[in-house]
Structure 1
Amino acid sequence: MSRVIGWCLGLLLVAAGANIHDPYLMAVRGWSGPVIAAAGLCGLLIVLRRGVRQRVAMLALWAAVPLAVLGAEGVFQARKAAVLSAPEAVASELGRHFMVGYERVEEVEGLAARGLIGGIFVSRRNLAGRTAEELRDEIRRLQDIRRRAGLPPLRVAADQEGGIVSKLSPWLPNRPAPSALAGMPPDERRAAARALGRDHGRDLRSLGVTINFAPVLDLRTDRAPDPLDFNSLIARRAIASDPAVVGDVAAAYADGLAETGVQPTVKHFPGLGRVGTDTHHFRAAIGDSRETLESTDWRPFRQVLAGNPQALLMVGHVILSAVDPDRPASHSHRVVDGVIRRDWGYDGLVVTDDLVMTPVYQYGLCRAVEEALNAGVDLLLLAFDGAQYYRAMACATDAARRGELHPTALAASRERLGRNSADALP
């Protein structure tokens, strides 16, 4: 029995050591590597002292634990070094597409100064133990760094939907979500939604935030809640089940945001209301026909995008089976270039949902980065675990070196990003 336990524990530690930079281990990343390596060395000493049968295999297993940690750390540091030493032309061409989250400002200062990123994502972890004024000063300092480097201002994004997703509260006022207004008479709800958008916008501008990842346009459904849905919670965030009401409220809210100089973001195309699975952790697909979606779920998206030229479109990681059954919409050429760009004629900014989510991260981050850029996605978001930026950027630079990034797609995105830069907006 002890040998079985030794083998199981050793294999578990090898797997953990090889994945110390996985997003799921982010909470323990600072100390997990040394602890796992030390546990491996302790196991190695125990095997040597006890003279376990089949000792060679057991010794190899426990010796693999610290080697797995060293290997994972070595790969991470090699990617980081390669990104930081990228030629200036590569940095400026590809860096503009990345928007990253962070915990300490030192993690992004150098990236901002060299143009290796185009934006940052802030949330309550940037405010833990601090004041809103301190975060405002930090963002201002980053923008000063960009100015001195002769670079465009950073795009600064937040998730301040209101209600249960208010990631800068209580430092900013706790305000309702647009869904709280859906039951009002049409004229009243439009006025209230616009006022709510202005309130959210003023709150965010007081910190230096320029993009709000709101409003949510997914339709509410009567589906029973999934017990494994810990993060999406679309039924609690959706404005309504009626596309007309959703479009009405969302358009007014987006206009209110834009009035304050904060860009709204409509999400999560192609619509998570039909998905019962939490796409933060699991793959999911929408099986409905395109005709059905155009007449229901997509109506609010088209309405807001047509009426608000400052609005961004966030594309989620759900598979749209009727258009591209082989990959999530967030990096599908058929969805982004085909449906959004060509069929709808939308020429604004497209941003992915967080690429650190399992449906992308665990199924091929490099593939997703390359395909998203070639599809016409403008901003690649790495919000939850900003350290994954180095892996994603290394994927992009490798693809560029191989000649697998399409110059036409990059040029079109460069023009859109320039036209919609923070210093170009009214």
Structure 2
Amino acid sequence: MFGRIRTVILWILAALFVFITLNSNEPYLVRLRGPGHAALLVIGLAVPLLLVLSGSWRRGIAARALLLVWCVPLIALTATQFMFAWRKYETFRTEPEVALLLGRHFIAGYRSADDAAALAQRGLIAGVYVTHHNIRGRTEAHLRTELARLQAERRGAGLPPLLVAADQEGGSVAHLSPVLPNIPGLSTLADLPANRRARAAFELGRSQGEGLAAAGVNFNLAPVVDLRPHWTRNPLDFHTLIGRRAISRDPDVVGDIALGYVQGLEASGVRAAVKHFPGLGRVEADTHHFSAQLDAPVDALERSDWRPFRHVLERSQAAMMVGHVTVDAVDPERPASHSRKVLDGLIRGQWHYQGVIITDDLVMGAIYGRDLCKAVVEALNGGADLLLVAYDGTQFHRVFACARQALSDGRIDLDALRRSDERLARWRPDETSRPSNVSTVSETAGGAHRKIVD
């Protein structure tokens, strides 16, 4: 009986280890990287060896099958690590012209400053994203020194300064605290009289912006302008938690406070990004893990959820973060973050917004768990200017490979990239480095697609 129980346990563990090793580089297993991978390697070697030494593999076909299955994790782990190394190798083999053409449209998180510096030197990214793991066990001086080093590497390569982005909203989302001071959530200002709340928000934004700028952060992915949902607890919302982060249910209150906060950041030299269009106040599914639909008429959204976005964008230099929610009334086929109908048709066309659009993190289940390459290409072609790879920055190599292959195949709209370059240049006066002829870049990438845009 004991032998049978042991065999069943070994089969269950084998299946689990096969799954883990096959997916060892996926974002949801990011915590296994490093020591976790070493442990997987040791286990993948030890268990088959013990099965062989014990002689149990001689006890029939089932025992031999179990031994073979326990050999799979080691092979799978080796294969996944090789694939990651190959993608990284391919990224750094990118032709300089292609790197400059595509790289200015990506912001990537990082764990190794050396890796980030290598990407920055080659123009493969427009900026970096800093968060919890970049400050764990460190001080503000450490962060400031590291970011200054990355900017120095960038200058040394003759490229524009990096955008350095962070999620430092204040309140419950302050990913650089306690190294940097946190501020109260903007919702604490919602009950102030109208003539006071905007000024108070400006002061909070200015104070926070000064702290960010001193550390080297120049792009804050805030404020949240989603309207507060009607529910108090949503069992399908694990990480968005918009009820805690939203300012108010009143779009006028949200607009006033958000605008004041953005203007305070801008007064400190820090750019802002209003988020998360099309709004999460009516959305129950958490896009960190699931697909989500916004099922409401456009006219109702224009009267409520979208008013704070337009109020802030029309009166500031804020960028706009577009999330991974599908707007059924505009484009029921794909999330807003890579929908041409939403990005180019609604936001650019109907709203006449010609500022910068940044996607929400592409390493979220609503995108990453679907056709990632399709999303990357459609976002670039549809009107997004910056694509964010934040939670697991190593996935940048996979994302960039999608864009590079699409360029080679002639599936990148070079006119769309040119218009995006112009928007980025207006938004960032230091963004001056651009290939003189995009058609040359397309040829260098090996694509048959040739389109003169200069």
Give the TM-score, by structure 1 length: 0.96
Could you tell me how far 1:424 is from its partner in structure 2? 6.5
CA contact (8 A) 2:138 2:179 kept: no
Q: Summarize the alignment of residues 245-324 of structure 1 with structure 2, pairs less than 5 Å apart.
A: 245-308=253-316, 310-324=317-331
* Identical positions, percent: 48
CA contact (8 A) 2:424 2:431 kept: no
Establish whether residue 345 from structure 1 lines up as the match of residue 352 from structure 2: yes
CA contact (8 A) 1:336 1:377 kept: yes
1:336 to 1:10, Cα distance in 2 relative to 1, 3 A: same
Could you tell me how far 1:56 is from its partner in structure 2? 4.2
In structure 1, the residue corresponding to 2:271 is in which secondary structure?
A: coil
1:21 to 1:346, Cα distance in 2 relative to 1, 3 A: same
Establish whether residue 173 from structure 1 lines up as the match of residue 181 from structure 2: yes
Q: Which residue does the alignment assign to 1:391? A: 398
1:258 to 1:78, Cα distance in 2 relative to 1, 3 A: same
Q: Which residue does the alignment assign to 1:413? A: 420
Distance 2:373 2:64 in 1: 37
Distance 1:70 1:194 in 2: 52
Could you tell me how far 1:44 is from its partner in structure 2? 2.2
The one-letter amino acid paired with 1:226 is N
The one-letter amino acid paired with 2:347 is I
The one-letter amino acid paired with 1:389 is F
In structure 1, the residue corresponding to 2:238 is in which secondary structure?
A: coil
CA contact (8 A) 1:270 1:329 kept: yes
- CA deviations on 1:355-396 (whole Å, 9 max, x unpaired) are 111111111221111111111111111111111111111111
Comparing 27-36 with 158-167, which one deviates more in the overlay?
Answer: 27-36
In structure 1, the residue corresponding to 2:33 is in which secondary structure?
A: helix
In structure 1, the residue corresponding to 2:342 is in which secondary structure?
A: helix
The one-letter amino acid paired with 1:217 is V
Q: Which residue does the alignment assign to 1:114? A: 122
CA contact (8 A) 1:279 1:359 kept: yes
- CA deviations on 1:61-105 (whole Å, 9 max, x unpaired) are 122111101111111111111111110011111111110111231
Distance 1:199 1:331 in 2: 34
Give the alignment partner of residue 401 of structure 1, picking from 395, 398, 408.
408
- CA deviations on 1:293-325 (whole Å, 9 max, x unpaired) are 1111001101110111x2100001111111111
Distance 2:404 2:347 in 1: 26
Q: Which residue does the alignment assign to 2:133? A: 125
The one-letter amino acid paired with 2:391 is F
Establish whether residue 151 from structure 1 lines up as the match of residue 155 from structure 2: no
Comparing 14-23 with 122-131, which one deviates more in the overlay?
Answer: 122-131
CA contact (8 A) 1:10 1:40 kept: no
Distance 1:247 1:73 in 2: 47
CA contact (8 A) 1:17 1:37 kept: no
Distance 1:404 1:52 in 2: 56
Listed as ranges, the gaps of 5+ residues in structure 2 are: 433-454
Give the alignment partner of residue 248 of structure 2, picking from 220, 226, 240.
240
The one-letter amino acid paired with 1:205 is A
Q: Which residue does the alignment assign to 2:452? A: none
Q: Summarize the alignment of residues 44-123 of structure 1 with structure 2, pairs less than 5 Å apart.
A: 44-48=48-52, 49-50=55-56, 51-54=58-61, 55-123=63-131
Q: Which residue does the alignment assign to 2:435? A: none
Q: Which residue does the alignment assign to 1:191? A: 199
Distance 1:214 1:280 in 2: 18
Distance 1:52 1:407 in 2: 63
1:41 to 1:173, Cα distance in 2 relative to 1, 3 A: closer
In structure 1, the residue corresponding to 2:137 is in which secondary structure?
A: coil
CA contact (8 A) 1:275 1:284 kept: yes
CA contact (8 A) 1:279 1:358 kept: yes
The one-letter amino acid paired with 1:313 is M
Q: Which residue does the alignment assign to 1:329? A: 336
CA contact (8 A) 2:381 2:413 kept: yes
Q: Which residue does the alignment assign to 2:446? A: none
Could you tell me how far 1:223 is from its partner in structure 2? 1.4
1:52 to 1:24, Cα distance in 2 relative to 1, 3 A: farther
CA contact (8 A) 2:232 2:243 kept: no
The one-letter amino acid paired with 2:384 is V
CA contact (8 A) 2:236 2:284 kept: no
In structure 2, the residue corresponding to 1:264 is in which secondary structure?
A: strand
Could you tell me how far 1:52 is from its partner in structure 2? 3.6
The one-letter amino acid paired with 2:313 is L
Distance 2:429 2:141 in 1: 21
The one-letter amino acid paired with 1:331 is H
CA contact (8 A) 1:216 1:268 kept: yes
Listed as ranges, the gaps of 5+ residues in structure 1 are: none
Could you tell me how far 1:228 is from its partner in structure 2? 4.4
Distance 1:3 1:327 in 2: 46
Could you tell me how far 1:423 is from its partner in structure 2? 2.9
In structure 2, the residue corresponding to 1:41 is in which secondary structure?
A: helix
The one-letter amino acid paired with 1:289 is P
Give the alignment partner of residue 24 of structure 2, picking from 16, 20, 27.
20
In structure 2, the residue corresponding to 1:279 is in which secondary structure?
A: coil
- Structure 1 stretches (4+) deviating beyond 6 angstroms? none
Give the TM-score, by structure 2 length: 0.90
Distance 2:280 2:228 in 1: 9
The one-letter amino acid paired with 1:133 is A
Q: Which residue does the alignment assign to 1:219? A: 227
The one-letter amino acid paired with 2:285 is T
Give the alignment partner of residue 365 of structure 1, picking from 369, 372, 380.
372
Distance 1:52 1:238 in 2: 62
In structure 2, the residue corresponding to 1:157 is in which secondary structure?
A: strand
Establish whether residue 209 from structure 1 lines up as the match of residue 217 from structure 2: yes
CA contact (8 A) 1:152 1:421 kept: no
